[in-house]
Amino acid sequence: MHPKYLRKGLGQRLHLIGLYRLQNEFKAKSYLGATNVDNSPMRKIMIENGCIQNKNTVISLEYCI
């Protein structure tokens, strides 16, 4: 999100639109969202939009050049 538009609720709305489209246009039965563990704004958005954290964990490795 561009800094000019932060803290206006737009990220939450965009995520919700994406969830709606996945369910209604693509007939998705589930959604696997991923973000950095320290990205609390995105984690808050996911929770506000009804996402729940399951007990499965994903391990991500990053390679920097």
Domain ranges of the chain: 3-48
Closest Cα to residue 32, out of 11, 57, 63? 57
| pLDDT range class, residue 3, cuts 50, 70, 90 | very high
pLDDT of residue 21: 98
pLDDT of residue 20: 97
- Sequence-distant (6+) residues with CB within 8 A of 60 are 34
What percent of the chain shows pLDDT beyond 70?
97
Contact 47, 10 (CB under 8 A): no
User: Span 3-28, mean pLDDT?
Assistant: 96
pLDDT of residue 61: 75
User: Span 39-47, mean pLDDT?
Assistant: 94
